[in-house]
Amino acid sequence: MTKRSLAVGALITLLAASPACAQTYGYGGYGRYPDPRYGREIQRQAFDRGYREGLEQGRKDARHNRDYAPMRHSEYRDGDDGYHRGDGDREFYRRHYRQGFDVGYREAFDRSVRYYRR
């Protein structure tokens, strides 16, 4: 066998195995999980974690008379606090983390502004 046919055979094997691995680990693309309950659980966990962090950061910003700016925080920009490789698509996790962060930040900032800026 020539080197070229070995390389072609290895490439074909690699390409055939890639989709199977992606499906096994729940990377079906944009949040599609083999078990929909698992996807909802990851979504809930990401949102809750982002919400709690947003509450904390919104409270701090209002207390220190900072402008409303959730995107100033690295936690928001990274959006993957609590993410584990087995959770599937990182962008799916980030999207829901940031949604939770936005909601928590807005609630805490609005509530705290009324209290601290009297």
pLDDT in tens, the chain (118 residues): 565 565 555 545 555 544 444 443 444 444 455 667 888 999 999 999 999 999 999 999 999 999 999 999 999 999 999 999 988 899 999 999 999 999 999 999 999 887 766 5
Prediction pTM value: 0.68
Residue 31: count other Cβ atoms within 10 Å of its Cβ.
18
Question: Quick check: 104 and 52 in contact, CB under 8 A?
Answer: yes
Count of domains for the chain: 1
Cα–Cα distance measured from residue 23 to residue 29, given in angstroms and rounded to the nearest whole number: 9
Residue 3 in any domain: the answer is: no
Residue 24 lies in a domain: no
Q: Looking at the domain assignment, is residue 11 inside a domain?
A: no
Note the residue count of the chain: 118
Q: Is residue 13 part of a domain?
A: no
Please tell me the distance from the alpha carbon of residue 2 to that of residue 103, in angstroms, as a whole number: 61
65: left (phi over 0), alpha (psi -120 to 50) or beta: left
Q: Is residue 25 part of a domain?
A: no
Please report whether residue 26 resides in a domain. Answer: no
How many CB atoms are located within 10 Å of the residue 80 CB? Answer: 18
- Structural domain range at position 90: 35-116
| 9 is a domain residue | no
Secondary structure percentages of the chain, helix, strand, coil, to 5: 75, 0, 25
Whether 43 and 31 have beta carbons less than 8 Å apart is answered as yes
Is 23 inside a domain boundary?
no
